[in-house]
Structure 1
Amino acid sequence: MDVLAFGFADAAEEAHQQTPKLYLDDRRRLNVQPDLSRWAGGRCRFVGELKYRYDAGNGAAPNVYQTVAYALAAGVPDAMLIYAHGPATGTAHYLPGLGARIHVRHLNLNTEPAELLSQIQLLADHIDRLTIASLRGDLV
């Protein structure tokens, strides 16, 4: 197990090093690194943040703020905050001042592997829809 975790950490670090950087400021001093990002045509089209904790449904304010910062830096209309545990139904917060929406989703890790993979596939499908919408300039 340690070798697998070590190998995963190395792969994640390498992926972070190869991913273009996102900045909050015009002088490119405030670098942010979302847990998830998807790039197309040389631009970031999706950002997401992962939290390995329980959430009651709306997303904890500090976690939403962090995800907002990623969306702002990337200039994307939609971003996602994913928790390891919480209600099956998600929510979204529209931010009129930013013109963006933060989607809050939850996984249920206390389930069979096949069910967990199904949940992850649903999230991947949602991320695909958000990425396509970003390419078109739509807000989902």
Structure 2
Amino acid sequence: MKIALGADHGGVHLKETIKTFLTEQGFEVTDFGTHSEESVDYPDIAEPVAKAVAAGEYDRGILICGTGIGIGIAANKVKGIRAALCHDCFSAKASREHNDANILTMGERVIGPGLALSIVDIWVHTEFSGGRHARRVAKITNLEV
């Protein structure tokens, strides 16, 4: 699985932890930045990750900022993206099974690395259930302009 990974300055440390974790598990990970604590605007990170996932260049994406909120809002502006903010394991699993989320967002200032890695592990290993959920995801897609 190919994963696009990005973070602003508020999520750079958690991004590095996630990158190591995914690489060690054999995932192909591309880091879209940022690479320091120097302030950057989260839409500038969310946009290229979201566009690459929407274009099919990557199977999924993971975005991190301080809260996971802003970067997720920005990603969801890209047609074809279903970014889900998950700070617990149940939501991570449900976002994949029920919503076919293709981008996971989290906040480094909200959760610690241990929980974050559990969420990532569940999220990358959970498949979309389809069935009645496919109908609902199609209705979401139809809302896109």
Q: TM-score, normalised by structure 1?
A: 0.39
Which of 1 and 2 has higher RCO (CA within 8 Å, sep 6+)? 2
Q: More strand per residue: 1 or 2?
A: 1
Query: Whose Rg is larger?
Result: 1
Q: More helix per residue: 1 or 2?
A: 2
